[in-house]
Amino acid sequence: MKYSCFAVIILGLIAQWSLALPDTIPIGGLFEASEEAELLAFRHSVNKINSDRSILPKSKLTAKAEIVTKHDSFSVANKVCQLLGMGVAGIFGPSSETTSEDVESICDTMEVPHVETRWDLYQRRGTMLLNLYPHPAALARVYVDLVKAWRWKQFTVIYEDDDGLVRLGELLKIYDPKGYTVTVRQLDQEGNYRYILRKIKRSGETNIVLDCSTEILYEVLKQAQQVGLMASHHNYIITNPDLHTIDLEPFQYGGTNITGVQLIDPDDPLVNATLAEWAETERTGRVRMDESLLTLNITSTTLRVGTALMYDAVQMFGRALHQLDSSQNVRLRALDCNTEGNWEHGFSLINFMRVSEMKGLSGVIHFDNQGFRTNFVLNIVELTEQGLNQIGTWNSSEGLNLTRSHSGSIGSGYITEHMESLQNKTFIILTALSPPYGYLRHSSTKLSGNDRFEGFGIDLIHEISLLLGFNYTFRIQHDGVYGSLNRKTGQWNGMIRELMDYRADLAITDLTITYDREGAADFTMPFMNLGISILYKKPTKEPPSLFSFLSPFSREVWMYMLAAYLGVSILLFFMARISPAEWNNPYPCIEEPDTLENQFSLKNSLWFTIGSLMQQGSEIAPIGVSTRMVAGIWWFFTLIMVSSYTANLAAFLTVESMSTPIKNAEDLAKQNVIKYGAKRDGSTAAFFRDSNYSTYQRMWEFMVNNPDVFTSSNDEGVNRVKNSNGKYAFLMESTSIEYVVERECDVSQVGGLLDAKGYGIAMRKDSSYRNALSAAVLKLQEVGKLYALKVKWWKEKRGGGACRDDASKGSGAASELGLPNVGGVFVVLIGGVALACVIAWLELFWKVAMNSIKNKTPFWSEIKEEIKFVFKCHGSTKPVRKKEDEKEEKSVAEEELGEEVAADIVPLSPYATPYGYVKKERMT
């Protein structure tokens, strides 16, 4: 009995041992040459499972790593088949989209688990596929929630490639012209992003969503800082979850609001403990590493998402293997891609992974019923002077949870924070006597100090000083030079030189922020946006034309009217000849005359139509239906045409036409009569000098070849325009033009803006108070103070509004009526005339038919004679066609009375005898 029990125990142990996994379980990994960190994590994770006997008590994993080429699908497929031939239990990677699809297809066929850790645009539930990277649709909601939390009503999206647009797809859907305004711009692919960034800066946009790879993220931020797009009033949302891995130290002191998301918490104890184990493993050499992997030195601040996900994927795979081993008899076998066959445990293993849940380096890993990662947590971080600080969290079930409000809009709180640094300081501020930015104050008493000056710039500095608590002393730049770079000597002049030499702290006037100036000095955010435009003599009134009465109609309409007049007149002449009703008895007393007369001769037809057109009428009136129809249609035509002419003539006589020889910069560049220039050494001249646009280059060549077109000041340019009698145009900033045209009524702005730029307050390079000044300018803009100051100094003070009444009169001009305006009247005329023609011929046929019956004559011979007479086009009388017996009586009379006597008599009746004749003279 004892031996039997012992045998049973031995057999049970043997059976249990037969159910266990093999001693060595190979797993395959596909990595690109640049993915050294992922390969390191793969091997460390395998080593961690092998050292922790609670995961796989009786087995060990063996890492089979292969280096693959990114787009070489054939080579990758071969290496996958080689790994399957080794009997691997799963394939990890690769990260390339093109090759990953091939690996997935092979794994599905062979029923071997395929684990990915990459962002996949088309992430879907695969048969043997499991992806630890969060689903793109879930990540897209994070950025929408952030934009709404920060209350951005307009923002710019900067993306690197098409994948970036997909990642931000949900964000782009919230575009609404009345709500959210979204601008989308793509980064250049050649490494120089400054052009796009400068374009965004000139647009005045301050809210930016940036999506780009980790490899270029630092360079994009650096170039944004170089072009002035990372000031304190700029706000960024960076979508890259590896933001914490780049060096943010150059950007954390500028006050720019940079917000990012983190899937990995660098302060997580599990992360730090795991990385410490890696370092210890490498130090002791307990796991074999390549030389290149030993130099990576990964820390919590350099650990990327892809690396952490690879580690977590192997850990989850090991735990799923343990669950599989506990449920069924598992055995590994080599698979051949060229023959039919699969691994019978593959489905079970991948399903165990889908239902597993664990805490990894990337947080809690859990999958939904579709096999997508869910319930993951993202940390919302913000860059401060101390580095990245967590300000909230986001998870896929609860959404955004902020622990404090965002400081995206700079307001009184930010200003208060910086007031202590400027409190009671005294600045020397340069300005220029450039209306309306700086004036000498008019006073009957002698003034001193700051009381000597007034203007927009003076008031702006005063308002900023009230916010920040500093004192100031104004000093005039007597030469009026703002600052330009001498390309030959590399030296600056004007206000910029004064700032560089520490002879002044700030400079304020109509000082344009340019690329060159930003290299030598710092500027606040623009307090005014503007562009270059053209100042020209106000258009002169055109002298009235001798034939101005022809202006209401175009030449085309006049020609059509002449053709209509002649056509209707000739048609009326023919229709009157056709219509029997128009042939009348010239002797009413004679019942049946020999001839009939028609009142519509060619001359009378022309007279009738011209009389109708002139609304004077005539003594001639149509009788037939067809001729009356033609007359009615013609009268309708003349009614409309005369009414249209009269109405448009009144407009032409009351509106004065203005003569403008130029309308835009293209017109200036194409002609040589009107000279044009700009202020010497100013930003406007620099714009044309540095422009790559062919028209502006041509204009700059003209100005260089004619140096007399340059002026020393804007006032000189304005006076030259006024006194040039239209032979000179001055190029200057649009705000200055607005100021001039409010006071000088004989000049005006021509065309739109040639560029977009802004005026800012200048200071020395790397000034510590730039952010505070920018914040104050933004605060004044938000409360409407800047607009109020502009209205005050442009439209109210110092003669403002003098030309407002003149400008309100307008210069609209009536336009001539073309054929499309009156074409319908011609159509009605043609239709009516055509119908009248048909009726005229029907009248003729009807009359001839009645006569042929009455006179017992052939119809076709009668109609033939009538048509011949119509087209004879001669004479307004025609003989009356009589019966055959009347002709016989006439011949008898001629025989008995003589031909001469018979010609002078008419029969008394159709049945008169030869004695029943009487002379016409006696009858009349």
Residue pLDDT, tens place only, 776-797: 888 888 888 888 888 888 888 8
Q: What's the average model confidence in pLDDT over 671-689?
A: 85
Rounded CA-CA distance 334/749 in Å is 83
Whether the per-residue pLDDT at 11 is higher than 50: the answer is no
- The verdict on 69 and 182 lying in the same domain is no
Are 154 and 211 in the same domain?
yes
> Per-residue pLDDT tens for 605-647?
887 887 777 777 777 788 888 888 888 888 888 888 888 888 8
Q: How confident is the model at residue 154 (pLDDT cuts 50, 70, 90)?
A: confident
Using DSSP bridges, classify how beta strands 91-92 and 114-116 pair: parallel, antiparallel or unpaired: parallel
Same domain? For 394 and 468 the reply is no
Q: Write down the pLDDT at residue 26.
A: 93
> For the domain that residue 246 is a member of, what is the CATH number?
3.40.50.2300
The predicted-structure confidence for 705-744, as pLDDT tens digits, reads as follows 988 889 988 888 888 988 888 889 999 888 888 888 888 8
Confidence of residue 410 (pLDDT cuts 50, 70, 90): very low
Q: Are residues 571 and 558 in the same domain?
A: yes
Which of 15-29, 488-502, 748-762 shows the highest mean pLDDT? Answer: 488-502
CA distance 100 to 258: 34
Specify whether 61 is located in the same domain as 116. Answer: yes
Please indicate, yes or no, whether residues 439 and 313 belong to a single structural domain of this protein: no
What's residue 30's pLDDT? 93
Residue with more model confidence, 699 or 405: 699
Q: Which of 755, 781, 804 is the last residue of a domain?
A: 755
Same domain, 258 and 389: yes
With 70 as the cut, is the pLDDT of residue 906 above it?
A: no
Q: What is the CATH number of the domain that holds 669?
A: 3.40.190.10
Q: Which helix (H) or strand (E) holds 380?
A: strand 377-384
- In this prediction, residue 5 has a pLDDT band, given cuts at 50, 70 and 90, of very low
Within a domain: 560: yes
d(CA 148, CA 146): 5
Confidence of residue 474 (pLDDT cuts 50, 70, 90): very high
pLDDT of residue 810: 44
Cα–Cα distance list, 678 to 180, 488, 658, 710 (Å)? 40, 22, 26, 5
Inside any domain, residue 895: no
Asked, for residue 107, whether it belongs to a domain, the answer is yes
What residues pair up with 262 in beta bridges, in sequence order? 379
Do 674 and 745 fall within a single domain?
yes
Residues 6+ apart with CB under 8 A from 527: 460, 758, 759, 760, 761, 777, 780, 781, 786
Instruction: Establish how many alpha carbons lie within 13 A of residue 69's alpha carbon, considering only the half-sphere containing its beta carbon.
Output: 7
Q: Note the pLDDT of residue 916.
A: 41
* pLDDT band of 308, cuts 50, 70, 90: very high
Same domain, 707 and 745: yes
Distance from C-alpha of 666 to C-alpha of 703, rounded to nearest angstrom: 15
Indicate the SS3 state at residue 618: coil
Is the separation of the CB atoms in 628 and 600 below 8 Å? no
Do 886 and 857 form a contact (C-beta atoms < 8 A)? no
d(CA 753, CA 532): 5
* DSSP H/E element including 317: helix 305-327
HEC letters along 529-566: EECEEEEEECCEECCCCCCHHHCCECHHHHHHHHHHHH
The mean per-residue pLDDT over the stretch 649-655 comes to 65
Average pLDDT over residues 541-550: 62
Between CA 358 and CA 363 the distance in angstroms is: 8
Whether 343 is in a domain gets the answer yes
Tell me: pLDDT of 339 over 90. Answer: no
Residues 204 and 218 in one domain: yes
Q: 766 Cβ partners below 8 Å, 6+ apart?
A: 522
How many domains are contained in the chain? 5
Number of neighbours of residue 616 by Cβ within 10 angstroms? 8
Q: What pLDDT was estimated at residue 3?
A: 43
Share of the chain above pLDDT 70, in %: 82
Inter-CA distances, 455 with 199, 651, 904, Å: 31, 45, 110
> DSSP labels for 860-877?
HHHHHHHHHHHTT---SE
**What local confidence, expressed as pLDDT, does residue 911 receive?**
37
Pick from 115-119, 666-670, 831-835: least confident: 831-835
Is 390 inside any structural domain? yes
User: Which are the contacts of 491, defined by CB distance < 8 A and separation ≥ 6?
Assistant: 485, 497
Domain assignment present for residue 767? The answer is: no
* Residue 732 token pair: 């200057």
Question: Do 351 and 430 share a domain, yes or no?
Answer: no
Any domain includes 443: yes
Residue 500 has pLDDT above 50, yes or no: yes
Same domain? For 503 and 422 the reply is yes
Of 713, 684, 732, the C-alpha closest to 477 is 713
Half-sphere exposure of residue 65: CA atoms within 13 angstroms, side-chain side: 22
In a domain, residue 200? The reply is yes
Tell whether pTM > 0.75.
no
pLDDT-based confidence at residue 407 (cuts at 50, 70, 90): very low
Handedness of CA 581, 587, 588, 591 (dihedral sign): negative
Sheet holding 24-32, edge to edge: 60-68, 24-32, 91-92, 114-116, 129-131
Provide the domain limits for residue 98.
20-134+303-370
Model pLDDT for residues 845-878, shown as the tens digit of each residue: 887 788 788 777 888 887 787 777 777 776 666 6
